[in-house]
Structure 1
Amino acid sequence: MKYFIILLLGILLMQCRQRHNKTLPDTLPRDSTITRQNAYSELFLDSAGMEAFLREEVENDSTKIYIRNFYNSRNYSFAWFNKDGLTVQAEGFWNLYDQYIKNTNDSAVYYRNLHQAMNRLMYEDSLYETPADVLANTELRLTRHFLYYVKAVYGPKANPEVMRWHIPKRKLNARVLLDSFISLQKQEWKPLSERFYQLRNAVIKYRRIQEKGGWMIIAPPTEKIRKGNRNKLIPALKKRLSAIDAYSPSDTTDLYNDSLLTAIKMLQQQFGLPPSNHIDAALIKELNVPVEERLKQMLINLERMKWMPPQPENCITVNIPEYRLRVYENGNEVLGMNVVVGKTANRTVIFSDELEFIVFSPYWNIPRSIIRREIYPAMNRSTSYLQRNNMEVIGYYSDSLPIVRQRPGWGNALGDVKFIFPNSYNIYFHDTPAKALFGRHKRAFSHGCIRLQQPFELAKYLLRNNPDWPEKAIRKAMNSGTEKWVRISRPLPVFITYFTSWADDRGMVYFTEDIYGHDKKLEEHLFE
């Protein structure tokens, strides 16, 4: 029922993609098949009047063409009004816009004259007292304002590539949007992912907390507080938790009881802290981060969510600062595991690709940079280094640096299996002999590739429909000592992402450390 909203969104997003292109979009021909008998609205614009509006009130040439194309495709029939007044779509858009203004106080999209006109039309039923030229002007201003609104609210404010984000940006096609939107009945209009709206709702909630003065600072405990203890800090802690609806405001005692234990475990999940039954300084430190800083963190990640293309129902995702991999099937998480990612000096790249191969008992073809920095100096220090580490020289680079690989089997840095999604960054998933690292809270230790806590489980999942690869065959191949490549039947999309804040469908908000400093860089682009 919102045909033109979807069309306008598609037009705007095409505009965003072409903003660096000096070539203006083509002008569409006027669709003369639309008549007063079959038009969406009985009201029609005067083409000369529209051109005057574009000359006087629209500066950007591309925007002029997009508005002109929108009305050419409708043969100049109104989009926001019919003979009875505002259309359902107009009221829906205005309510959406009005709610956004109330929740964010974003003055960038506030247009006072249009706001006053719309309030009269919506609440005073003044359509029949409105002159035709004023009505036409309001129609065109609504169209222009919708374009500005969508660009401000749903469009990116920073260039992802400058932010080292190499996942292709979201691309929305007007025709695809129209097809998907026509199938909707009463669902809410959501041009971005559900994760975006979950986090945006959290932003609204935290802004209300900010408007009330934020939350109180809790003194850090001098020792761990355990269940059953009484402590003078606990009433303040309970009050703080009730501010974010994480605890009942009726309990103000100083006792660490079962209810508080449940809340503490939830908080540890939210902040990515190791699970425990006690209250310590690390937890209080996270709780004492000012609401203003949490809001910035959430807004930074809302920006990233605007960049994300639609996530397929079947895919693998890795969230680098969360140190977590998830496998989705039909939109549901079916496998999750901890991972080790690149250390600060060897950051894991943010990108997407498709997983195509499993390599059992792999060789490790050591990157040239690692040979230069680590392997070659070690070879010079000890003639037995290669033998002791199950390595061999298989050639030389043009500068006489040796080409070194590690044989399959004991001590191999890739463990017993690796998973290839071919890419120019030489990033892949793999097993590891250093299992103890998965027990660490912070797990940025690799040279850039992603080490898996449960590689066998991932291999078993990827080969689940292949009768040649039962569990026994997988284990045998992993321990054979002979490299074997297996192509999976259907390549699986992989997204290596970087989110330091997100929310779930319960309204629970999560925060992680900005391990690579990407938040700080994006903050400089988003906030003055």
Structure 2
Amino acid sequence: MKKFGSSALDRRAFLRGVATAGFAAATSAAFAQQSDIGEILAAPRRGNWDDQFDARSSNKGKVASFQPIASPETASFIESAINTYSQIVSNGGWPRVDATVKLQLGVIDPSVAAMRKRLMIAGDLSESAGLSNSFDTYVDAAVKRFQARHGLPADGVMGEYSLAAMNVPADIRLNQLQTNLERVRTLATTDQGGRYVMVNIPAAQLEAVEGARVVQRHTAIVGKIDRQTPILDSKIHEVILNPYWTAPKSIIQKDIIPLMRKDPTYLERNKIRLFDERTREEIAPETVDWSTEDAMKLMFRQDPGKINAMSSTKINFPNAFAVYMHDTPQQGVFNKLMRFESSGCVRVQNVRDLNVWLLRDTAGWDRQTMEATIKTGVNTPIQVTDPVPLHFVYVTAWSTGDGVVHLRDDIYERDGQAALSIGTNT
């Protein structure tokens, strides 16, 4: 999303200037500028640009959309995508891209021609761009569009994950769309209410929907393959600012006890206190025999604060899986490509924006009040006046219209196609 292409912009600016003045009145300085630009564009490292400077024409519709996944329109768009992909399959699918070099802007390689064809067939690149071996600005824009549709960093560089996604055969993508059509149809026929929250697990993304429109979209961290985030329907009834965090038994056994054996100050430094689970009396860490597993009988509770595992927020909703949504002090995790590393709960990026939306109708809790409360560090449970419907769903393929088909890895292997879980094995 941050590539250059400044020479193309310079070229367009120059041509606009020439048009204003008129070619007949162009000065020698202007011709010198044109010559300089010609040299830049002809430089070997720039690849074969021909006279195609405006890569915007390869963008066949925006990828970003306010269209909710759980809607009748999305189901209809998937049906249209299935028709398109059926035709692609009947025509022989798309070519495999076998790259021996890193494919990125400026590269000239025979594999680029195959990639151009692949992008054209899927609708990411205009056929007018041609089938040359040059990775030019047209291809750069098309690759970024492809990456955005697949939930990949849209940097225009064909790395390991981008190539893997590109080389999933067309017939498997068609089956993926057919499988997910039934899932989306079920969601679309369910009365979601005027506003709701939906977490799409394979996309590791959260949508806050109101009036049949996505008003907020948040990057999320969801469960590991061996600790999966469950599919569920519930209602968000509570937002806790400055929450306490109680360590699960698995973390106590595998992490905290070994750490205490090495560093007896670990609990104190991390503001974790011990309590008798039955009497709720606080226990001094120095009274515990850390060479044994006796600590497993105790409750480990971390005080609110910036280093708390849930940071500023915990969002509660009734469910049989003891999962919740929350903030995290480790914001860098949201930049990761594979965001499947929780123990089943859902971490939400920019969760305070979601808090404001959830508590909009709860008297006395505007953004300013919430921020002031968080600064106090005091544990503050807030009951949501009108509980907001919540859905954890599993959708790996959908369409938002205009030929834009979104595809994700089948991280939990529920689509029945081994090739779709490739991101988990890379």
TM-score (norm 1): 0.59
Contact 2:305 2:312 in 1 (8 A): yes
Contact 1:225 1:280 in 2 (8 A): no
User: CA separation in 1, counterparts of 2:321 and 2:161?
Assistant: 35
CA shift for structure 1 position 273:
1.2
Aligned residue in 2 for 1:196: 75
CA 1:401–1:382: 2 relative to 1, 3 Å: farther
Aligned residue in 1 for 2:303: 407
Contact 1:314 1:328 in 2 (8 A): yes
Contact 2:94 2:169 in 1 (8 A): yes
Q: Secondary structure at the match of 2:162?
A: helix
Is 1:234 aligned to 2:130, yes or no? Answer: no
Aligned residue in 2 for 1:125: none
CA shift for structure 1 position 382:
4.2
The CA deviation string for residues 430-467 of structure 1, in whole angstroms up to 9 with x for no partner, is: 11011111111111121211111101111122233445
2:163 to 275, 284, 297: 284
Matches within 5 A, 1:130-149: none
Q: Which amino acid aligns with 1:205?
A: T
Aligned residue in 2 for 1:341: 222
Matches within 5 A, 1:47-446: 193-226=72-105, 228-252=106-130, 253-308=132-187, 309-396=190-277, 401-446=297-342
Aligned residue in 1 for 2:408: 512
The CA deviation string for residues 276-301 of structure 1, in whole angstroms up to 9 with x for no partner, is: 13344532332221112112222222
State percent identity of aligned pairs. Answer: 29
1:471 to 356, 367, 370: 367
Provide the alpha-carbon RMSD of the alignment.
Answer: 2.4
User: CA separation in 2, counterparts of 1:196 and 1:522?
Assistant: 24
CA shift for structure 1 position 397:
6.2
User: CA separation in 2, counterparts of 1:347 and 1:193?
Assistant: 28
CA 1:397–1:509: 2 relative to 1, 3 Å: farther
CA 1:306–1:207: 2 relative to 1, 3 Å: same
User: CA separation in 1, counterparts of 2:377 and 2:114?
Assistant: 59
Q: Secondary structure at the match of 1:411?
A: coil
Aligned residues: 331
With 241-250 and 336-345 compared, the bigger mean Cα shift is at: 241-250
Aligned residue in 1 for 2:393: 497
The CA deviation string for residues 304-335 of structure 1, in whole angstroms up to 9 with x for no partner, is: 23443343341111111111111111111111
Contact 1:438 1:453 in 2 (8 A): yes
User: CA separation in 2, counterparts of 1:393 and 1:522?
Assistant: 45
Contact 2:245 2:308 in 1 (8 A): yes
Q: Which amino acid aligns with 2:301?
A: R
Q: Secondary structure at the match of 1:295?
A: helix
CA shift for structure 1 position 377:
4.4
Q: Secondary structure at the match of 1:194?
A: helix
CA 1:394–1:299: 2 relative to 1, 3 Å: same
Q: Secondary structure at the match of 2:243?
A: coil
CA shift for structure 1 position 348:
0.9
Q: Secondary structure at the match of 1:344?
A: coil
User: CA separation in 1, counterparts of 2:348 and 2:126?
Assistant: 39
- Find the structure with the greater CA-based Rg: 1
CA shift for structure 1 position 415:
0.5
Contact 1:501 1:511 in 2 (8 A): yes
CA 1:211–1:315: 2 relative to 1, 3 Å: same
TM-score (norm 2): 0.72
User: CA separation in 2, counterparts of 1:299 and 1:393?
Assistant: 51
Contact 2:304 2:379 in 1 (8 A): yes
Contact 1:361 1:481 in 2 (8 A): yes
Matches within 5 A, 1:18-57: none
The CA deviation string for residues 113-155 of structure 1, in whole angstroms up to 9 with x for no partner, is: xxxxxxxxxxxxxxxxxxxxxxxxxxxxxxxxxxxxxxxxxxx
Contact 1:322 1:500 in 2 (8 A): yes
Q: Which amino acid aligns with 1:408?
A: P
User: CA separation in 2, counterparts of 1:522 and 1:222?
Assistant: 27
CA 1:458–1:299: 2 relative to 1, 3 Å: same
Q: Which amino acid aligns with 2:379?
A: E
Q: Which amino acid aligns with 2:101?
A: T
With 200-209 and 366-375 compared, the bigger mean Cα shift is at: 366-375
Contact 2:361 2:386 in 1 (8 A): no
CA 1:349–1:457: 2 relative to 1, 3 Å: same
2:350 to 442, 454, 457: 454
Q: Secondary structure at the match of 1:325?
A: strand
CA shift for structure 1 position 376:
3.9
Q: Secondary structure at the match of 1:519?
A: coil
Q: Secondary structure at the match of 1:510?
A: strand
Aligned residue in 2 for 1:486: 382
* Higher relative contact order, chain-length normalized (CA < 8 Å, sep 6+): 2
User: CA separation in 1, counterparts of 2:212 and 2:191?
Assistant: 12
CA shift for structure 1 position 522:
11
User: CA separation in 2, counterparts of 1:521 and 1:205?
Assistant: 20
The CA deviation string for residues 178-222 of structure 1, in whole angstroms up to 9 with x for no partner, is: xxxxxxxxxxxxxx8332222222122111111112112222241
Q: Secondary structure at the match of 1:479?
A: helix
Q: Which amino acid aligns with 2:116?
A: K
Q: Secondary structure at the match of 1:460?
A: helix
